[in-house]
């Protein structure tokens, strides 16, 4: 296992990461997306620039982000609109081919309509601000989305339509496709804002990984998000890691801690949540996971608007946990 990150593609940040010993990255292409960036030459330029700092480019994010549906670049895939979604899926398939030709082994993506849903931040350690979600507050605030009502059956149809097109291409070109869960999970009977978040439960994720029998179809395993789905994450998360890890379905790990449980939680510092992160690291080792362990988010710290200090602290903590479990033999 190795510490990684999904933040930073500027020369300034790459230099900082190299100094901190963060030698693996999921790096994004420049924004806004241009076709030239997703060309083979554009992807190779990104890889070569990252590698010039001694950092390995392990993953690139597809333009299927965790943003709200009106802010994503390819909305029709999840709106289920044809023929628009077919054109968007064709673009994604070409990006997979180009990534393979540029020597990029994996791509990550989201299949989200709601985006990441949170309520107001709450006070954390030392004046930090913790990203927070309380369903009882959130449900009072928002109308239906622009997608309108989307029940579970409709959502699964749109996911299936996408996977049946892209996973065969990923398999042909040997590019692993890592999907992020819905963040957070919502009540399965009602959903949220009319949308049933089918990838917001462990059972939904199990169904998802079984939909396509391919070693190139798996998860961007966000431990924080999956902990948010559980009633007792401090007890349940280890068996969830075992389930997906033993099946080879964990392609990347967002190694984040939380305090709380399903429908009511805070994102904490890595050492300030309910989950024993040393034990979690042991379980990843147990199942043979050898990829990146990265913080996806960190708390907001006074005087650290860009999060450099909080990320540096978290990188060091993850490196120490990896060293500790490796020393156990």
pLDDT of residue 90: 97
- Containing 261, the helix (H) or strand (E) segment is strand 258-261
Helices (H), 185-254: 202-210, 223-228, 233-246
Query: What predicted TM-score, i.e. pTM, was given to this entire model?
Result: 0.97
pLDDT of residue 246: 99
Asked if 194 contacts 127 with a C-beta cutoff of 8 angstroms, the reply is: no
Asked if 95 contacts 29 with a C-beta cutoff of 8 angstroms, the reply is: no
pLDDT of residue 34: 60
Number of compact structural domains in the chain: 1
pLDDT of residue 29: 83
pLDDT of residue 329: 83
* Calpha distance 52→27 (Å, rounded): 14
Asked if 260 contacts 118 with a C-beta cutoff of 8 angstroms, the reply is: no
pLDDT of residue 36: 73
pLDDT in tens, the chain (329 residues): 999 999 988 999 999 999 999 999 999 887 556 667 899 999 999 999 999 999 999 999 999 999 999 999 999 999 999 999 999 999 999 999 999 999 999 999 999 999 999 999 999 999 999 999 999 999 987 889 999 999 999 999 999 999 999 999 999 999 999 999 999 999 999 999 999 999 999 999 999 999 999 999 999 999 999 999 999 999 999 999 999 999 999 999 999 999 999 999 999 999 999 999 999 999 999 999 999 999 999 999 999 989 999 999 999 999 999 999 999 98
pLDDT of residue 33: 61
pLDDT of residue 140: 81
pLDDT of residue 219: 99
Q: Given the DSSP bridges, would you call strands 176-180 and 132-134 parallel, antiparallel or unpaired?
A: unpaired
Domain that holds residue 208: 2-327
Q: How many CB atoms lie within 10 A of CB 288?
A: 10
Beta bridge partners of 61: 108
pLDDT of residue 31: 59
Q: What are phi and psi of 304, to 5 degrees?
A: -135, 65
CATH code, 176: 3.20.20.150
């Amino acid at each position: 296992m190795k510490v990684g990150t999904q933040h930073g593609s500027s020369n300034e940040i790459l230099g900082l990461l190299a100094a901190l010993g963060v030698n693996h990255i999921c790096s994004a292409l420049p924004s806004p997306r241009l076709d030239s960036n997703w060309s083979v030459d554009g992807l190779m330029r990104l890889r070569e620039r990252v590698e010039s700092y001694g950092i390995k480019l392990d993953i690139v994010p597809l333009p299927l982000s965790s943003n709200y549906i009106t802010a994503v670049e390819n909305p029709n895939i999840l709106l289920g609109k044809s023929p628009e979604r077919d054109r968007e899926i064709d673009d994604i398939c070409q990006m997979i081919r180009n990534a393979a030709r540029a020597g990029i082994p994996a791509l990550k993506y989201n299949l989200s309509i709601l985006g990441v849903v949170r309520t107001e931040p709450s006070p954390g350690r030392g004046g930090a601000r913790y990203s927070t979600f309380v369903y009882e507050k959130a449900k009072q605030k928002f109308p239906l989305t622009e997608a309108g009502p989307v029940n579970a059956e409709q959502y699964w149809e749109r996911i299936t339509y996408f996977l049946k097109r892209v996973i065969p291409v990923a398999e042909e070109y040997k590019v692993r496709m890592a999907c992020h869960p819905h963040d957070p999970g919502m009540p399965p009977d009602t959903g949220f804002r009319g949308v049933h978040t089918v990838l917001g439960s462990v059972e939904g994720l199990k169904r998802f990984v079984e939909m396509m029998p391919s070693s190139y179809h798996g998860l961007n395993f966000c431990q924080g998000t999956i902990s948010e789905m559980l009633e007792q994450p401090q007890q349940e998360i280890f068996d969830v890691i075992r389930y997906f890890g033993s099946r080879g379905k964990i392609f990347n790990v967002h190694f984040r801690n939380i305090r709380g449980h399903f429908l009511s939680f805070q994102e904490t510092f890595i050492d300030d949540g309910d989950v024993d992160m040393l034990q979690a690291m042991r379980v990843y080792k147990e199942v043979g996971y050898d990829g990146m362990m990265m913080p996806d988010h960190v708390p907001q710290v006074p005087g650290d608007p860009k999060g450099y200090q909080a990320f540096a602290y978290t990188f060091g903590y993850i490196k120490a946990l990896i060293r500790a479990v490796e020393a156990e033999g």
